[in-house]
Amino acid sequence: MQEYNDFYNSNIQFKRLDNTSTGDFDFLASENINVQVLGPIVSEVNNRPALKFLRQPSKVITHIDDADDAPSGAYSASHTINGQSVILRLKYGNVSFLFAGDLNEEAEDILVAASGTNPIQSEILKVPHHGSADFSNKFFEAVKPLVSIVSSGDESEMKEYIHPRATLMGALGKHSRIDRPLIFVTELVAFFKREGWSRVTAKQPAGKVAPEYFGFSRTAYGIVHVRTDGKKILVFTHSGQKDLKEAYCFKIENDGDLPVRQEVIMA
């Protein structure tokens, strides 16, 4: 309890961010880092700021790219919470990163419509909601990522969401601005070492013996590294071998240019 009180009595400031927020990241300006808060997008109801209540998407996959029909599913608290994530676009030199939270299709369409002449195109995209099927083609068309990173994994038969979805992976490739974009999934760049037959060492109840199981240990945790100096972008992952990495290099000569890519294998 004392630690709890110390935390809330400290000098840490708490603030709600939305698309009208300005100046909250000015402390990064001296490092040539610009941060825009793109969402959540506030509306005005009775002269007070409000967030739109969002609907569940259709479970039917359409072959028509983003029909103009408004979402027709029931209103959903969970979809509203996800869709009203804080969205940040970070820019360093000629390189932009878009951190898209748990955005869903309806929220993504709202963001694209609100962006107007303020582009959301970004070289690096942290893909929304672990690669959910609830996405907008218009959003990916607007971002045009060179590198997309899907954070997913640690699912089980008891809690399975099928992340990332095959449709999303296809859309990411289709809407990149280059022919061979990089699309990483964190669970696919994790590696395991076979340990063999194992037993839990924690103390068991009286008369009980921990059952044996065939064990594995994780040797690489599925981290995708992105480094930039404002022009060059280096993206790499680890592998099951300590002396081998998958690595790629882009160069963005001028803001908004198509990149020059040099494929690199680091040994």
The encoded tokens of residue 5 equal 């009180």
pLDDT at 258 over 80: yes
The encoded tokens of residue 238 equal 């680890």
Q: Determine what percent of the chain is predicted with pLDDT higher than 70.
A: 88
For residue 197, what pLDDT is reported?
A: 92
pLDDT at 201 over 60: yes
Q: What share of the chain is helix, strand, coil (3-state, %, to 5)?
A: 20, 30, 45
> Could you tell me the CA-to-CA distances from 201 to 97, 182, 208 in Å, in that order?
44, 42, 12
For residue 61, what pLDDT is reported?
A: 62
218: left (phi over 0), alpha (psi -120 to 50) or beta: beta
CA–CA separation, 17 and 76 (whole Å): 22
pLDDT at 140 over 80: yes
Q: Map residue 40 onto helix, strand or coil.
A: coil
Q: What is the pTM of this model?
A: 0.85
For residue 249, what pLDDT is reported?
A: 94
